[in-house]
Amino acid sequence: MKKLLIYAHYYIPDVASTGQILRELAEGMRDEFDITVLCVVPSYTGTIATEYQEKRIYREDINGVHVLRVPVPEFSKSSKKSRIKNIVAYFFNARKATRELKEPFDYVFTISQPPLMGGLLGVYGKKKLRTADGKRPALFYNIQDLNPEQIMAVGYFGNKLALKVMMAIDKYSCRKSDLVITVGRDLVDSVRSRFKKNPPKVAMINNWIDEKEIYPLPADHPRVIEFRAKYGLVDKFVVMYSGNIGLYYDLEGLIKVIEQFKGAKTPDGRDVVFAFVGAGSVLDKLVMYVKEHGMNNTAFIPYQDKADLIYSLNAGDVHWCVNAKGIKGVSCPSKYYGLAAAGKPILGVLESGSEVCCLIDETQGGLVCEPGDYEQVEKNIAWFNEHAGSPELEEMGARSRAYLVEHLTKDVSIRKYKEAIISPDTAVENMTGGNEMTAQIKRGGYG
């Protein structure tokens, strides 16, 4: 059986979305490859359990996948310095662990997390490792988010010379890859546009969620009721944000729109509540804003275990799916797949022509407006509130679920990954989308 090394940064039990995707990808490809994952010790929240604070490397076998974990320092999501220190530690410790791998590897698969470092780790693995017959393994670079474009879009870092160097680094990683795999039609275009001539081979494979694990539940399901009761959401109309409460979603702007709905009720008399489920670098700012402005229409809920995600998603009546302005072509919000799987209508704040915006349009699964158009965001929230409990909302969610089951299942995407690794040229030939994307979202109200 061919051997595959995956650089994963985060991996189960960490709750990072990319770690969950890579877990399902690795386990889904076990029938084709003997897989080793090289990642950090569980640390996505910034803290590290005592049992992972002593050794130089940790070896585990999880569901048939070999896992090598390297140590990193604890960090604060609100501190750039500590985050960078953590990422750099992963990069160098992963390189060290790579040098100690003695067995042959036929393929190296890396992901664009952490930014730039993920791609460079893949290049390093391709350089240092060998196949059984002494050749270099093939390298597959999975770009979930393009950087430095994402950093530039949100103004996280402004040194032009440094950004130019960062772009050169990631272009180098792309060039050294046998195939770049990304997750949206707009991202395919962005990768190609980096290169004036001879772009690398690029294919698109959608992210996913397991539609057999996440599916619609009735509002009176005991576990859904239990979740609502635990967090004060009983008899409320819940507009939910579920996922990373981080930099790339303009949540600091959207919380000001939410403030306009203090005291709002639906036509059937329910209070309108905005629930944020998750954690991230912006969470403390949102909590402070809510406190300072006396907002009693907002709830903050911690990350839920993966096994409980079906109940938390079903506890929302409407779900946010958002990105900040400038994120089109550089990031694709994977949370969409969970929302569609749960059959929930979507309140989108996404740029026209972005992958998820097109999916919402193709399914008519929600309302979408441009990032920064807070007036339209407010109108769309009001529309959902006015139609609470109506057939329109249920039909929106049902269309999203039906489309996902037909076109965007976990099994379909994992099969595409296996085929791409075995035959990269075929993956490029079979790719659709890119510049042929024609769907454009209908702005404003639904109809």
Eight-state DSSP code of residue 433? -
Superfamily assignment of 2-176 in CATH? Glycogen Phosphorylase B; (3.40.50.2000)
CATH 3.40.50.2000 fits 222-406, yes or no: yes
**pLDDT band at residue 94 under the 50/70/90 scheme:** very high
CA angle 265, 271, 277 (to 5 degrees): 125
Task: Give me the helices (H) in 249-328, please.
Answer: 251-259, 283-292, 309-314
Quick one: pLDDT at residue 446? Answer: 33
74-78, 126-130, 368-372 — which is least confidently predicted?
Answer: 74-78
In the chain, what's the furthest Cα-to-Cα distance? 71
Question: Which residues make up the CATH 3.40.50.2000 domain(s) of the chain?
Answer: 2-176, 222-406
Residue 5 structure tokens: 């090394």
At residue 402, the 3 state secondary structure works out as: helix
Cβ distance 29 to 35 under 8 Å? yes
Residue 282 structure tokens: 């912006």
**What's at 141, amino acid-wise?**
Y
Quick one: pLDDT at residue 430? Answer: 67
Cβ distance 17 to 45 under 8 Å? no
> What value does the mean pLDDT of the chain take?
92
Taking the C-alpha atoms of residue 94 and residue 6, their distance in angstroms, rounded to an integer, is 11
Q: Return the residue matching tokens 């994992």.
A: 414
* pLDDT value at 354 more than 80: yes
Instruction: Give this prediction's pTM.
Output: 0.85
Give the count of beta carbons closer than 10 Å to the beta carbon of residue 83.
16
Give the count of beta carbons closer than 10 Å to the beta carbon of residue 425.
12
**What's at 431, amino acid-wise?**
M
